[in-house]
Each structure stands twice: as C-alpha cells, then as structure tokens.
C-alpha cells in the first residue's frame, strides 16, 4: 500500500506539472524536434514555470503572468528579481 501511494503521489506531481506546461506554454503543440532543442526548451519552460510561481506580486494565472511579462519589461525584471 505504501508503494502504491508513493507511485500515485509521483504521478500526481508529474501530471500536474505536465498540465501546467501544456496550458501555460502549449507544450504538446510544440514542433521543436531537431537535435538537443526539445530538451533545451523543456528545461527553459520548467525554469520559467518556477520563476512565474515564485513571483507573488500579481495574483493571476501563470498564463497571464507570462503574457504580462511579455508585454511589460518592468514586470519581467520583477519576475527575474524574485528568483534572488
């Protein structure tokens, strides 16, 4: 029973992260396939999700935080500063 619980817990976390990446970055629609690009972009996306989650100034969704960071350089700097 403990092993089953650990496995379910692991997959719950994995499914949650995958869902977040797909909703926020449309990862399932990505056409990046050449050489090391898929792994590199996956790492960048996970880094971006972590940075967006750490930023507490705006109470919107990760998708909205990402949009705002793309539109407002000051907000982007605020997200990057929240990592330190």
pLDDT tens-place string over residues 4-21: 888 877 777 777 788 888
Is the pTM value of this prediction over 0.85? no
* Concatenated DSSP letters of 31-62: ---STTHHHHHHHHHHHHHHHHHH--SS-S-H
Place 1 in a pLDDT band, splitting at 50, 70 and 90.
Answer: confident
Contact yes or no for 45/73 (Cβ under 8 A): no
Residue 69 burial by CB count (10 A; 0-12/13-18/19+): exposed, middle or buried?
buried
Q: Is it the case that residue 34 has pLDDT exceeding 90? A: yes
């Amino acid at each position: 029973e403990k092993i089953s619980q650990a496995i379910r817990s692991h997959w719950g976390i994995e499914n949650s992260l995958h869902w977040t990446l797909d909703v926020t970055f449309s990862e399932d629609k990505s056409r990046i396939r050449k050489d090391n690009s898929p792994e590199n972009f996956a790492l960048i996306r996970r880094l971006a999700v972590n940075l967006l989650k750490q930023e507490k100034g705006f109470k919107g969704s990760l998708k909205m935080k990402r949009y705002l960071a793309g539109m407002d350089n000051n907000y982007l700097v605020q997200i990057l500063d929240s990592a330190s």
